[in-house]
Amino acid sequence: MKVGMAGLDTGLIVVLLLILGAEFVNGWTDAPNAIATTVSTRALSPTKAVIMASVLNLVGVFSGTAVAKTIAQGIVDPKAVDLTTVGGAMVGIILWSSLAAHWGIPTSESHALVAGLTGAGLATAGPAVLVWDGWKKVLLGLLFSSVLGFIGGRIMIGMVNRVFRDASPGKVRRLLQGLQIFSSGFVAFSHGSNDGQKFMGAFALALFLGGVQTEFTIPSWVIYLCAAMMALGTVTGGWRIIRTLGMRLTKLKTHQGFAAEMAAATTIEAASRLGIPLSTTHTITVAIMGVGAARRLSAVRWGVTARIVAAWILTFPICGLISWTVVWVMRLFD
């Protein structure tokens, strides 16, 4: 943005508000994944599940900043972009994710953020702006979320079935109802350690580009603010996503919900420690599919699955194109 100091302050405020808006939408479409199966199996009431997810998301966010650094410095070169780039990326995320949330389709905010930054970065500085080392981590994240999530779900449900094969259904349900609260909390924590960091990274990048910070750091107040916005989004608009994943994708019993959550959380946590940004939406969804398919292929509602997969595929081009267009139009007024 070619503006004076006063204008820069105004521009920075606008961009920071857009980032918070994107984090709020993340609460609609991504954060509910952590509690979808727990609510559907009635291990927790919706209110208690949301409170638990909000608290453990915050705890997970404080567990590290490797993913945040990948987003802020590893997708586009921070020295080649500006506040307009970041703002344009946020507009793409908000528009696409709000549309998906309206239809109850769980989208990946991870991929929306990567696509938005890429499209906006290309409009700013061309292909040279891309940081390929970070993109390698994004592609590795796709492998983690899609393949390991599905396989992990099948393996975990197989282990649960073997351990409790001689137990009565009622006893299994009572025992695993408590364990599912733990597994759901594990997913919420892992979501915070991975997805929760992504918009913090964007926020810190904006502060750096706006001249507020001279180097890339993530202040504690940024962590609290972003976590609060995500929790608010989950409380006000996450129920459609919970219904889609917890009730419409496949019918889940308590032991199946526990298996899916443990598989997803373990996969996400491993990626977080490696600084790999992956999609919680992808991971928990394919874990649920793996658990359902282990029972029988027809147990998964493949029509619902097809809609979710189509949204995943469309996220990259649509968010990238919207963000590119926003930045291109803004450049006309520079």
Report the C-alpha gap between 239 and 261 in whole angstroms. Answer: 18
Confidence of residue 3 (pLDDT cuts 50, 70, 90): very low
Given a cut of 90, whether residue 206 has pLDDT beyond it is yes
pLDDT digits (tens, 9 = 90+) for 101-145: 777 666 777 888 999 999 999 999 999 999 988 888 888 888 878
pLDDT digits (tens, 9 = 90+) for 131-185: 988 888 888 888 878 788 889 988 998 998 888 888 777 777 778 888 888 888 8
Task: Please provide the average confidence, as pLDDT, over all residues in the chain.
Answer: 81
DSSP 105: -
Report the C-alpha gap between 327 and 1 in whole angstroms. Answer: 11
pTM: 0.81
pLDDT digits (tens, 9 = 90+) for 249-269: 566 778 888 888 899 889 888
Burial class for 59, CB neighbours closer than 10 Å (0-12, 13-18, 19+): middle
pLDDT digits (tens, 9 = 90+) for 55-73: 887 788 777 777 887 888 8
Length of the chain measured in residues: 334
Cβ atoms < 10 Å from Cβ of 307: 18
Q: What mean pLDDT comes out for the span 261-284?
A: 84
Alpha-carbon separation of residue 219 from 222, 223, 239 (angstroms): 5, 7, 31
Contact 208, 86 (CB under 8 A): no
